[in-house]
Amino acid sequence: MRAIFQTTICLLVFLVALIGTATAYAAEKPVMHWLLQPEQVQHLTMTDLAGTHSGQIQGLVRYWHGNRLSALTFDGLHNAIIAPAPQPLLKPQALTVAAWVTIDKPVPHGGIAGLIGKDKPFGSGWWLGYEGDRFTFSVPTAGETAPLKSKTTFAPGRWYYVAGTYDGKTQRLFIDGQLEAASENSADTLAAPEAAEFVIGAAREGEAVVSLSGAIHEVTVFDRAVDADTLRANFDHKSGAFPAPLKITVGPHVEFVSRTDAIVSWETAEPRPSIVAYGLNEQLDRRAANDGPTTKHQVKLSEIEPDAMYAFQIRAAADATNAASQTHMFDSHFNYTLPTAREEPSPYPRDELTDLYESFAQKILDETDIRKGYCLVLGTEQGRLAYELARRSDLKIVAVDDDPANIAATRAALGDTGYYGLRISVHQGSLSDLPYGEYFANLIVSDRLLVRGDLPADAAEMYRVLRPSGGVAYLGQSDKRRVTVTTADLKKWLSEDPNDASQIREEGGPVAIVRRGALTGAGQWTHQYGHADNASCSQDFLVRGKMNVQWWGRPGPRPMPDRGPRNPAPLSAGGRLYVQGDRVLFGLDAYNGAVLWSKQVPAVRRANMPRDCSNMAAADDALYVVEGNHVLKFDGPTGELKRVIDIPGENEGAQDWGYLACVGETLLGSAERAGAGYLGDFGEWYDKNEPSAIAKVTSRRLFAVDRHTGAPRWSHREGVIINSTLTVADGRVYFVESRNPAALDNPEGKLTDEVRTAQYLVALDLESGKKLWEQATDLSDALRVIYLVHADDTLAVTGSSQEKYHIWAFDTQEGKPLWQEAFKMKKEDHGGAIQHPVAVGSTLYCELRGYNLRSGKLERSDLPERRGCGTMAASNYAFFYRHRFHGMWDLETNTRSEFQGIRGGCWLGQIPAAGLMLAPETSSGCSCTHSIQISVGYIPAAMTKRAPPAK
């Protein structure tokens, strides 16, 4: 009996203790506990740890990664989490709201977490936020109560534990566990909106929503005031998990070097070890490192899975406790390296020809430096030259022979190797009537000539398929014992085209080397609107008439930005096509579409071209790309980073490189507010007449540097320059600037009304930067867009207001007004109000009208209807644009045609250059059922061997 009594007592004590513990635990439990990590997110829904509250994530979901924890990033534009507000928190008697947060950009009124009214006038309830660069906390009362402000001013990239408490009487603000501000308040007079939502990462400013720019890891809300010791303990518990921001001065860039390996490269100001944390599924569980301290870093990541998204972060130390970069992503879908053939013994015997083939193949590659693209072998023999070239390069080789025995022998040798097919195609056919399209071969060689001394049949046919602008024919013999061909024989094969470089060498035997020059009459597209004159005309004389497909291939839609946000145009120079994807760059061969190189560049992105300027410019030998506050100069053929060019001159606070043009040996640039440019990451269309779309990106300084060395030449600073008007032609730089004090004093880099007054059209000398003239002018009607074009000694400013297009023409010599015109626009949507003009010859085409540039006389209004959201590009004879599909308007015949099944994006994506019409994929994201979604090159049918009969 006693035992039973004792047991009962023990049980009761245990139960009381248990209930007590549970009660205590319940008291400690927050009302809401949001951990902004991937495991809490299902698509666009975030659930709190208890699973009792959930909120919708607005905008794209991206993460920052720390040490064994992560955070949701907020883009400063669209991101926020909105959840129903729990009833007990609407007018709480007591409260604590705490958050781990990092903020990149101060704003007048920012939000971390709190209550916002659902309906107008969108009043706020209790609120943890920031004003300028100080944290704030407020528990509003019926009367006016100033929010508590922190003493701490936050630094971009640094993490803070911010907590506001309210015990019914006193509100307190803690930063990193330290009390920084307190004031008395009374719960009796607490104010809250009638219907409120709980919002993380955004604030209301009137009707506008201001999204936080930074990241939030955790938000906890209690219905009681948590004491200072607990807050300090919370801070101590996690503070080590947030590394300090690591400043990366250049990059990072990611480039695949094999099917499984990628190189990450970046630069830092101080020498550091090179460490990359990376992994799949938003995890950073893998490390790659080079220990030696350096400022120019390169780390190889191995065993990269195909078709997968990787997160990665640059770290400053192996233990990752002190500093880390932002988290970036790279995508192995964009690995265009060739599969590696298994290392197997040569399928050919080791004999007296072995050295000949091996050495000749090596010599071809070394002397031509052509290692990618397509190689044509005229006369394949046993396939040995093709094989040795394939082994030593990334060339795709087409071997053609008219002898079935040679075809059979080549297939017998190579058919079971990993080279046959993808790397070496073997075709049976006539050498004097090749079945191939024009200009497809980067390199042409002959096995038959090498071993037998027999010349391939037809030089003209060879030149027909040899790529212009650098394609090489390398034909000859190198083994003295076998030489039967003579120099005289080879001379017949040399090019007579003055653009080509031909030579014959005698090294063991005669070898003819012909490097083709550019096609006469071919134009280039080196800047956003053709050339730096913004005329949207490539000056190409070849692209006209019926067009045939020249090539098609990658990139496809996946690496491209959504088609909507008016993205930068592709460029073409030196026979190459440069394409800017969504933070991915591509260098393609313009004539055969071969992907010569690609790089993932997380910090390279720009959108809304109608209100800004492009971040790319091309020269014959190089591609220049803006990355933050500097320009990257990439080698055109290889994509190798040759130089980083910084903004020259004095430091004017955080600034980005804005305008970019490459004219002659000069690189022009402008300095704009850091972060002023549009990114278009939320699929924005920038079509409507609203401030968030039409604000013009502006620059405060214009400068010139040497394009090879980056050496400064001159700098100009006066008004606020509208980027979309910067134009270079005939040794001058032209632009529209505003000297309105409201524009000059405005800290924003994007302005609308401020730049519509006190406007000047300005001309500078390109060489010296000296002002040549300026013309005060009123262009205020150019509200939605404003462009400047130079052609035929005329400067034409075009723009649009609510319903009209406006044109103002000026003489280039002194800036005197020539004429002006306004006309009603045909439609306001789908780019109808923001068309960029095109100048061909002496005619300015502005939204379906053609005006004489000098006189303003309306020359034609018969331009065909345009259906689509893009703008036009022209050669000297034809316009290209989106008309449902890829569309074309032939100026000579005034006929419109369309390339059914394939469409472009919502700005300028078809460029007539290199004698071709180049249309890289720009329709990405279009869920419509266009049957083909890929990059395409078209060639005028008149330039092909057998033009098909006109339909």
Partner 1 sequence: MQPFNWANVVSWVPLLACPAVPSQVRFLHSNHVGLRAHWRASRQWHPFSRQWHPAFCLLMIFIPSFAAAEDWPTYMHDNARTGVSGETLKLPLRPAWDYATPLPPQPAWPDSSKWDGWSKTYNLKTRQVFDRAYHVAVAGDALFFGSSSSDQVYCIDAATGKKRWSFFTEGPVRLAPTFHDGRIYFGSDDGFVYCLEAADGALVWKHRPGPRDRRIPGNGRVISVWPVRGSLVMQDGLLHGAAGMFPSETVFVFALDPATGEEVWKTEQDDLPVQGYLLASATRLYTPSGRDNPIVFDRGAGKRLRVVEGQGGTYALLTGDHIVFGPGKTGELGLVEGDQQDQLAQFAGNHMIVTPSMSYLHTDTHISGLDRPKYLEHSRVRKALMQEHRSHRDALKKLGADGDKEVIEKHKTEMARISVQLQEVAEQLKSCITYNEPCGQSLSLILAGDLLFAGGKDEVAAYAADSGKPLWKQAVDGDVYGLAVSGGRLFVSTDTGRIYCFQSAE
Going by C-alpha positions, the residue among 41, 57, 58 that lies closest to residue 49 is 41
Torsion of CA 814, 816, 821, 822, to 10 degrees: 80
Applying CB under 8 A, among 105, 427, 713, 896 the residue interacting with partner 1 is: 427
Q: Is 608 in the site for partner 1 (CB under 8 A)?
A: no
> What does the per-residue mask of binding to partner 1 show for 569-588, with x meaning CB under 8 A?
-------------x------
First to last CA, the chain: 109
Residue 759, token pair as written in the block: 């406007």
Applying CB under 8 A, among 372, 554, 605, 750 the residue interacting with partner 1 is: 554
Smaller CB distance to partner 1: residue 309 or 776? Answer: 309
Applying CB under 8 A, among 149, 286, 411, 804 the residue interacting with partner 1 is: 411
In 10 A of CB 349, how many CB atoms? 9
Applying CB under 8 A, among 18, 422, 654, 942 the residue interacting with partner 1 is: 422
Applying CB under 8 A, among 100, 174, 374, 597 the residue interacting with partner 1 is: 374
Smaller CB distance to partner 1: residue 477 or 923? Answer: 923
445: DSSP letter: E
- Tokens 């030489």 sit at which residue? 483
Distance between CA atoms of 349 and 343, rounded to whole angstroms?
A: 16
Alpha carbon 820 to its chain's center = 37
Q: CB 600 → partner 1: shortest distance, Å?
A: 14
Q: CB 607 → partner 1: shortest distance, Å?
A: 10
Q: Is 594 in the site for partner 1 (CB under 8 A)?
A: yes
Q: CB 334 → partner 1: shortest distance, Å?
A: 9
Instruction: Give residues 285-304 in contact with partner 1 (rule: CB under 8 A).
Output: none
Residue 81, token pair as written in the block: 């989490």
Alpha carbon 591 to its chain's center = 23
Q: CB 61 → partner 1: shortest distance, Å?
A: 9
Q: CB 542 → partner 1: shortest distance, Å?
A: 18
Which burial class, exposed, middle or buried, applies to 271 when counting CB atoms under 10 A from its CB (0-12, 13-18, 19+)?
A: exposed
Span from 293-301, 656-664, 680-688, 817-825 in contact with partner 1 (CB under 8 A):
680-688
In 10 A of CB 887, how many CB atoms? 24
Q: Is 551 in the site for partner 1 (CB under 8 A)?
A: yes
For 687, phi then psi, to 5°, come to -100, -30
In 10 A of CB 402, how many CB atoms? 17
Q: Is 786 in the site for partner 1 (CB under 8 A)?
A: no
Q: Is 22 in the site for partner 1 (CB under 8 A)?
A: no
In 10 A of CB 776, how many CB atoms? 10
Q: How many residues bind partner 1 (CB under 8 A)?
A: 69
- Tokens 């955080």 sit at which residue? 654
Q: Is 396 in the site for partner 1 (CB under 8 A)?
A: yes
Q: Which residues of 437-460 are buried (b: 16+ CB within 10 A; e: fewer)?
A: bbbbbbbbbbbbbbbebbbbbbbe
Which burial class, exposed, middle or buried, applies to 931 when counting CB atoms under 10 A from its CB (0-12, 13-18, 19+)?
A: exposed
Smaller CB distance to partner 1: residue 426 or 840? Answer: 426
Q: Alpha-carbon Rg of the chain, whole angstroms?
A: 33
Span from 20-28, 130-138, 239-247, 894-902 in contact with partner 1 (CB under 8 A):
894-902
Q: Is 122 in the site for partner 1 (CB under 8 A)?
A: no
Smaller CB distance to partner 1: residue 683 or 712? Answer: 683
Q: Is 929 in the site for partner 1 (CB under 8 A)?
A: yes
Smaller CB distance to partner 1: residue 148 or 584? Answer: 584
248: DSSP letter: P
Task: Give the start-end residues of each E strand in 22-147.
Answer: 32-35, 41-42, 45-47, 54-58, 63-65, 70-75, 80-84, 95-103, 107-117, 124-132, 134-138
Applying CB under 8 A, among 123, 273, 557, 832 the residue interacting with partner 1 is: 557
Q: Is 899 in the site for partner 1 (CB under 8 A)?
A: yes
- Provide the greatest CA pair distance for the chain: 124
Q: CB 642 → partner 1: shortest distance, Å?
A: 28
> What does the per-residue mask of binding to partner 1 show for 328-357, with x meaning CB under 8 A?
-----x-----x-xx---------------
- Inter-residue contact 185 to 141 (CB < 8 Å): yes
- Inter-residue contact 890 to 878 (CB < 8 Å): yes
Span from 203-211, 555-563, 628-636, 702-710 in contact with partner 1 (CB under 8 A):
555-563
Q: CB 304 → partner 1: shortest distance, Å?
A: 15
Residue 706, token pair as written in the block: 């040497």
Q: Is 417 in the site for partner 1 (CB under 8 A)?
A: yes
Distances in whole angstroms, Cα of residue 589 to Cα of each of 353, 370, 553? 33, 12, 11
Task: Report the DSSP pairing between strands 374-378 and 443-445.
Answer: parallel
> What does the per-residue mask of binding to partner 1 show for 354-373, with x meaning CB under 8 A?
--------------------
Q: Is 547 in the site for partner 1 (CB under 8 A)?
A: yes
Task: Check residue 534 and give left, alpha or beta (phi > 0: left; psi -120 to 50: alpha).
Answer: left
Span from 150-158, 246-254, 761-769, 926-934 in contact with partner 1 (CB under 8 A):
926-934
Alpha carbon 503 to its chain's center = 41
Q: Is 684 in the site for partner 1 (CB under 8 A)?
A: yes
Q: Is 398 in the site for partner 1 (CB under 8 A)?
A: yes
Applying CB under 8 A, among 307, 351, 730, 829 the residue interacting with partner 1 is: 307
Q: Is 592 in the site for partner 1 (CB under 8 A)?
A: yes
Q: Is 767 in the site for partner 1 (CB under 8 A)?
A: no
464: DSSP letter: H
Q: CB 460 → partner 1: shortest distance, Å?
A: 17
Q: Is 29 in the site for partner 1 (CB under 8 A)?
A: no
- Tokens 């929010």 sit at which residue? 147
Q: Is 477 in the site for partner 1 (CB under 8 A)?
A: no
Q: Is 831 in the site for partner 1 (CB under 8 A)?
A: no
> What does the per-residue mask of binding to partner 1 show for 45-84, with x meaning CB under 8 A?
----------------------------------------
Q: CB 92 → partner 1: shortest distance, Å?
A: 35
Residue 119, token pair as written in the block: 């309906």
Smaller CB distance to partner 1: residue 18 or 947? Answer: 947
Residue 569, token pair as written in the block: 């145009």
Applying CB under 8 A, among 84, 293, 435, 741 the residue interacting with partner 1 is: 435
Which burial class, exposed, middle or buried, applies to 747 when counting CB atoms under 10 A from its CB (0-12, 13-18, 19+)?
A: exposed
Q: Which DSSP helix (H) or strand (E) runs through 148?
A: strand 148-153
Distance between CA atoms of 376 and 426, rounded to whole angstroms?
A: 10
- Inter-residue contact 816 to 853 (CB < 8 Å): no
Residue 856, token pair as written in the block: 């303003």
Distance between CA atoms of 876 and 545, rounded to whole angstroms?
A: 12
Smaller CB distance to partner 1: residue 738 or 871? Answer: 871
Span from 91-99, 216-224, 836-844, 920-928 in contact with partner 1 (CB under 8 A):
920-928
Smaller CB distance to partner 1: residue 341 or 822? Answer: 341
Amino acid at 660: L
Smaller CB distance to partner 1: residue 96 or 410? Answer: 410
> What does the per-residue mask of binding to partner 1 show for 228-267, with x meaning CB under 8 A?
----------------------------------------
- Inter-residue contact 814 to 773 (CB < 8 Å): yes
Smaller CB distance to partner 1: residue 315 or 396? Answer: 396
Contacts with partner 1 by CB under 8 A lie at 43, 307, 333, 339, 341-342, 374, 396, 398, 411, 415-418, 420-422, 425-429, 435-437, 440, 547-558, 560, 562-565, 582, 592-594, 682-685, 899-902, 924-927, 929-934, 936, 944, 946, 948
